[in-house]
Amino acid sequence: METFKTGLLLLNLGTPRSADPADVRKYLKQFLNDPYVIDIPSVFRRLLVDGIILNTRPKKSAEAYAKIWTQRGSPLLFHTEDLTRKVRSRLSDRPSPPTVKMAMRYGDPSIPSALEEFKKEGVEELVFLPLYPQYSYAATESSLVEFEKWKSETLPNVRVRRIEDFFHEPGFVRAVAKRIAPVWKESRPDRLLLTYHGVPERQLAKVKEAPRACCAPGCCDEWNAQNLKCYRAQSFETSRLLARELGIEDRQVLTSFQSRLGRTKWIEPYTDFILKDLPAQGVRRLVVASPSFTADCLETLEEIQMQYRELFLSSGGESFEYVPCVNSEDSFATFLVDTFLGVSQLTHAADAPPAF
């Protein structure tokens, strides 16, 4: 059987180089000027980002980053580094060990720099795995487009398999449930809140295989062929699978969406609204996790663990327990290894379709 020099590229979203306002501004400039993130005409996006946001937001965002910064730097960066090392170690005993690297969609290490390294090492086939469980226009589609742009320039003849989402994969669900289970058992909360990063509602219709009736009543009650690439439907499916894996009744699990910006309509229900209302409904003890993130970052450590905790307790809540992301947990690294091995052993084909 013919063998190929194989590579695995793990991609995460990105982070500033430091919590200094100048570095945060540089990061935000790249991030917010992405047409997949702020999906409005370019002239208006430049006016909004360069003319308003970058003159006001970097200082405030830098203060938020400073709250979560560690001696190792950015949590998202070092968790992704640790995960990459674990995956590489687990694949190192194979007869022809694959080259395993990481990159960030925004910031460093960049996608083009990682592809240049693969080129130097003679990689002939590549598995591209963005570490976003659910498929979204702003994160996944943007990353796929950016990857394709640089891949066609740097490694035009390399065979590629892309893993576009893994929100429903048993190994991922088990890894998240393993993090939640001990906290749920010890805390004995009233509810489990699963909060996912929000997206503007209009973006749901922009992805390939867009849902036919997205955000209509009941459209996300089941994940199926009608809403295959719907971020909201995929998120609710993750919640259902986690409830089943944890043995928790569906009524005890709440799903919501966070981090909305601006006046446009984002997918609902909103996390902050739910947190304000729950204590008045008799829900005063809460366990919170965010299965849309694989590595803890600003949105989980500052927004959820700090801002949302304060909001819930000030609204009458008694207990708010945040469950960390899967980060570089052994179970998650094992899932990624098994996924890579399954994909890399498929029949070789140029620019093959995604595995999932």
pLDDT of residue 350: 42
- Residue carrying structure tokens 């949302």: 308
Q: Give the pairing of strands 125-130 and 159-162.
A: parallel
| Single-letter residue type at 139 | A
Closest to 166 in 3D by CA, of 12, 332, 356, 346: 356
278-336 tens-digit pLDDT:
999 999 999 999 999 999 999 999 999 999 999 999 999 999 999 999 999 999 999 99
pLDDT of residue 351: 46
Q: Does 170-322 match 6-16+74-166+330-344 at the fold level?
A: yes
- Residue carrying structure tokens 């981090």: 259
Task: Tell whether pTM > 0.85.
Answer: yes
Closest to 258 in 3D by CA, of 209, 204, 335, 197: 197
CATH classification number, 170-322, choose in 1.10.1040.10, 3.40.1160.10, 3.30.160.100, 3.40.50.1400? 3.40.50.1400
* Domain positions in the chain: 6-16+74-166+330-344, 170-322
Tally of CA atoms within 13 A in the half-sphere of 305 that contains its CB: 14
- CATH number for the domain running over 6-16+74-166+330-344: 3.40.50.1400
pLDDT of residue 335: 97
pLDDT of residue 46: 94
Q: ∠ CA(315), CA(75), CA(173), 5° rounding? A: 75
Q: How far is CA 185 from the centre of its chain?
A: 26
Cα–Cα distance between 137 and 205 in angstroms, integer? 9
Coil, helix or strand for 257?
strand
**pLDDT tens over the chain, length 356 residues:** 456 799 999 999 999 999 999 999 999 999 999 999 999 999 999 999 999 999 999 999 999 999 999 999 999 999 999 999 999 999 998 888 999 999 999 999 999 999 999 999 999 999 999 999 999 999 999 999 999 999 999 999 999 999 999 999 999 999 999 999 999 999 999 999 999 999 999 999 888 765 555 666 777 888 988 888 999 999 999 999 999 999 999 999 999 999 988 788 999 999 999 999 999 999 999 999 999 999 999 999 999 999 999 999 999 999 999 999 999 999 999 999 999 988 876 534 444 444 44
pLDDT of residue 92: 93
Q: How far is CA 141 from the centre of its chain?
A: 12
Supply the angle between the helices 330-344 and 75-91 in degrees, to the nearest 10.
60
